[in-house]
Amino acid sequence: MPAASFDATAAAAASIIVHTMEALDPAVLETLQPEDCLLVQSCQRSGSSQRIEETDSEGNLVLSIHYDQRLVYAIQADVLEWDGLADYHPGRALSSRALDFANGSRAMQFEDSGTLVYVAPQQTAGAGQLPSISFQIERLFADLDTAAYPTGTAASYTYLSAQAAAELPASATTALLEAVFHGQAITGNLTATLYNGNPAAGGTAVSSAITCEPWTEAGAIVFNGDTALITSTGITFPPTGSSRTVTHVRFSRAGVTALDVALASTVTIPANHALIADAGDFSAQLEWPYGMSGGTGPAELSLRYLFGDPTVDLIGTSGEVTINCYPGVMDGSEPLDTFRVPRNAATWGIIGDTASNTPALAGTNIAPAGGWAVQIITVGIDGVGTWFIRRERLISVGAGQTVPITAGLLVADLNGL
């Protein structure tokens, strides 16, 4: 239907009122001309601004993104002719002058400056009605782009290289022996702290204690399971506002020093840099001699327990240890005697990395006629499933006697026998 079929003055007045929301003087209506292509029914104008900010673990602003401000006109109109705005392709750049030209001699009252973009047109044709169109015109504000932004700090990362396996310190071996022979559990989360200088000799902590995931990747590295190696999970030490020098890393659990690692070379961490240690960068090695069983040996179990593996328990189900006395062959044979003794300091003396029976002990079974020849003695814990002492020693037991175990015979020496 041609534009001339409509009241030109009324259409022009309606368009001006919709776009500007200004009252019109009836005396000037005769000077107005209609838009040639559209009969505008509504125009909604909306503005928005968005900013995204990120901070580091210390609360410092490290990233600030200011998006362009947006001014969007959402227009609903009836189509008089499929021309001008009714037939533009999305994304076309416009201007108030171009809009003037496209829609007749009367402007649509958009902003006079800046770039305008024609967005998201949607056409609808109803039976017996004028076709309708909805579209948006977005005002770009590149001219208002922010020249300067708030000062922030860029958090970067320093990566640690893999370190050589370290042996457990005396505090760790003592704690493990106390868990086995005194029933004293090791508790608390595993933590890691960076040091400048040896922490055992007055070094200075240069980080807070970071809670680590438990170490669970362990396995025997000697056939009989007496020696095992455990490797670390990944650790990230957060950045600080000053540079740091790191020579050692200490791992602890509830006051027990589990491991001190002297780094292969000094690491300098710049200000606002985190230190990342990948899984496997740290490892600990433990030798627990003569701890043989058919399954996992005491060295592996002890390492996993020390470094927080929740599936491992060295405390077991009893306040006693079980002593088995065997003849020369263990496989397929029953022990000649099995008896229990308390797990306490009175029965087991612990010095550093060595535990042994303090008093003399005696079995409970009486040897028959001909006596016994005891050659192997093992010490284990109910519910743990491994031996912690396996002592080979010929002990002659006379008829009617019990197995005599002299003071200091049963020894767990974690430095090796």
More confident residue, 6 or 188: 188
Q: What was the pLDDT predicted at 229? A: 86
Q: Please provide residue 10's backbone torsions phi and psi, each rounded to the nearest 5 degrees.
A: -65, -40
More confident residue, 45 or 154: 45
CA distance 27 to 34: 16
Q: What was the pLDDT predicted at 205? A: 97
Q: What DSSP line would sit under 248-278, residue for residue?
A: EEEEEETTEEEEEEEEEEEEEE-TTEEEEE-
Contacts of residue 408, defined as CB under 8 A and 6 or more positions apart, other chains included, come to: 356, 357, 358
As given in the structure block, the two tokens for residue 279 are 């899984």
Nearest CA among 292, 198, 191, 207 for reference residue 244: 207
CA distance 414 to 295: 19
Over residues 161-176, mean pLDDT: 93
More confident residue, 277 or 24: 277
Q: What was the pLDDT predicted at 96? A: 56
**32-41, 177-186, 334-343 — which is least confidently predicted?**
32-41
Asked if pLDDT for residue 160 goes beyond 70, the answer is yes
- Percent of the chain at pLDDT > 70 equals 73
Band (110; pLDDT cuts 50, 70, 90):
low
**Helix, strand or coil for residue 100?**
helix
Over residues 103-127, mean pLDDT: 65
Contacts of residue 7, defined as CB under 8 A and 6 or more positions apart, other chains included, come to: none
Q: What was the pLDDT predicted at 28? A: 45
As given in the structure block, the two tokens for residue 212 are 């680590």
Q: What DSSP line would sit under 294-336, residue for residue?
A: SSS-HHHHHHHHHTT-TT--SSTT-SEEEEEEE-S--TT---S
As given in the structure block, the two tokens for residue 164 are 């050589």
Count Cα neighbours of 238 within 13 Å in the Cβ-side half-sphere. 13
- Percent of the chain at pLDDT > 90 equals 45
**pLDDT tens column, 37-80:** 677 777 777 877 767 777 776 677 767 776 666 778 788 888 87
* Range among 106-115, 130-139, 237-246, 297-306 with highest mean pLDDT value: 237-246
Over residues 155-172, mean pLDDT: 90
Q: What was the pLDDT predicted at 348? A: 97
Over residues 10-22, mean pLDDT: 44
Over residues 234-238, mean pLDDT: 93
More confident residue, 134 or 337: 337
Q: What was the pLDDT predicted at 88? A: 67
CA distance 15 to 43: 9
Q: What was the pLDDT predicted at 15? A: 44
**pLDDT tens column, 182-197:** 999 999 999 999 999 9
User: How high is the mean pLDDT of the chain?
Assistant: 80
**pLDDT tens column, 350-383:** 998 999 999 999 999 999 999 999 999 999 888 8
Q: What was the pLDDT predicted at 99? A: 56
Q: Provide the residue type at 124 as one letter.
A: T
* Range among 110-119, 121-130, 216-225, 276-285 with highest mean pLDDT value: 276-285
**85-89, 228-232, 311-315 — which is least confidently predicted?**
85-89
Asked if pLDDT for residue 327 goes beyond 60, the answer is yes
More confident residue, 139 or 107: 139
Count Cα neighbours of 102 within 13 Å in the Cβ-side half-sphere. 19
- The pTM is what? 0.64
Asked if pLDDT for residue 95 goes beyond 60, the answer is no
- Looking at residue 406, the DSSP 8-state letter turns out to be -
